[in-house]
Amino acid sequence: MSREILAHFSSCDPVMAALAGAVGPYAPETDDCHPFQALAQAIAHQQLNGIAANTILKRLVAAYGAGPFPSPQWILDTPAERLRAAGFSGAKVAALKDLAAQTLTAVVPERAALLDLPDEAIIERLTQVRGIGRWTVEMLLIFRLGRPDVLPVDDFGVRAGFRAAYGLKSLPHPKALAAWGERWKPYRSAAAWYLWRALELKRAGTLPVPGERIRLPRVKRRRRVARAAALKRRVLKRRAPKRAPPARRAKRSAARRVRRSRSRAARK
């Protein structure tokens, strides 16, 4: 597989090919645990470093005490206070309980059932769970299900690795990265893995220097344009002369009519 991946990158992207050659064979760490366990672990890791998250998970397993990982029914039946005592925040407790409920109703199915579904169908299905977003499911696709063609364009590490490997001054926009990544198909998971490794090579001073500068596809940033238009409207509104209230304008108009009529009468 690694030879096929390297051959493909060599034919479509010299920078990625050089990065893959410097890193070595594609070797992601994967396991085949139940999707419930994978997503529960992902919830624990949200907004925490790995050491803190693993400590919380160890407390959770110790509180369960009946196996290597708590069952969905146990999570559902356990009082929120006990889960919070393990270190989960209130939002994460709510997410865990929703995950457990969705697992018991088979929205989150067995791993074997997911293997038969396409990537986007799995993303659409699992993001129904509270607290589970696209990025979390993409990590499950790559590292739990071994899907070969997933590119998590919103991942900071992937974007930072791309910036480092391709010699860019700023992080690529996710849409621009997605457009560039079309050339990596059908091995975009491997490309993401190599981009994560690019940061390690940069820290070690062994990252290959790109042979040429690249130009990413231009992306229309609608939100930025909308914000600029709104700012322009506010500026113009501040600069416009302030008009008197309607009642005051009507009173002034009546006074002007009276003055004009008196002026005409005086001339006669």
Domain locations in the chain as residue ranges: 35-143, 154-240
Give the position of tokens 């110790």: 62
Predicted local confidence at residue 223, as pLDDT: 60
Cis peptide before 217 (omega within 30 of 0): no
Task: Round the average pLDDT of the chain to a whole number and report it.
Answer: 90
Q: Find the DSSP H helices in the chain.
A: 2-12, 14-23, 35-45, 50-64, 72-77, 80-85, 90-104, 111-115, 119-126, 134-143, 156-165, 174-181, 188-204, 222-239, 246-267
H or E, element range at 27: none
Q: Is 184 helix (H, G, I), strand (E, B) or coil?
A: helix
Predicted local confidence at residue 224, as pLDDT: 60
Cα(180)–Cα(172) distance, integer angstroms: 10
Please check the confidence at residue 169 and state whether its pLDDT lies above 80.
yes
Under a CB-based contact definition with an 8 Å cutoff, are residues 159 and 174 in contact? Answer: yes
Predicted local confidence at residue 220, as pLDDT: 73
Under a CB-based contact definition with an 8 Å cutoff, are residues 150 and 190 in contact? Answer: no
φ and ψ at residue 155, rounded to 5 degrees: -75, 125
Predicted local confidence at residue 182, as pLDDT: 97
- Mean pLDDT of all residues in 4-29: 95
Vertex 182 angle, CA 178 and 186, to 5°: 120
Under a CB-based contact definition with an 8 Å cutoff, are residues 86 and 58 in contact? Answer: no
- Mean pLDDT of all residues in 73-85: 97
| pLDDT tens column, 32-42 | 899 999 999 99
Predicted local confidence at residue 226, as pLDDT: 60
| pLDDT tens column, 90-130 | 999 999 999 999 999 999 999 999 999 999 999 999 999 99
Please check the confidence at residue 267 and state whether its pLDDT lies above 80.
no
Cα(165)–Cα(18) distance, integer angstroms: 9
Active-site annotation, residues: 155
Q: Which region holds residue 47: left if phi is over 0, alpha if psi is between -120 and 50, else beta?
A: left
Domain 35-143 and domain 154-240, same fold? Reply is: no
- What the block records as the tokens of 16 is 């990625």
Class of domain 154-240: mainly alpha
Cα(231)–Cα(227) distance, integer angstroms: 6
Predicted local confidence at residue 117, as pLDDT: 96
Q: How confident is the model at residue 180 (pLDDT cuts 50, 70, 90)?
A: very high
Predicted local confidence at residue 259, as pLDDT: 77
Cα(61)–Cα(86) distance, integer angstroms: 9
Under a CB-based contact definition with an 8 Å cutoff, are residues 195 and 162 in contact? Answer: yes
Cα(150)–Cα(98) distance, integer angstroms: 26
Q: How confident is the model at residue 66 (pLDDT cuts 50, 70, 90)?
A: confident
CATH number, domain 35-143, options 2.70.50.60, 2.170.260.10, 1.10.340.30, 3.40.50.1110: 1.10.340.30
Predicted local confidence at residue 239, as pLDDT: 67
| pLDDT tens column, 217-246 | 887 766 665 676 677 777 776 765 555 566
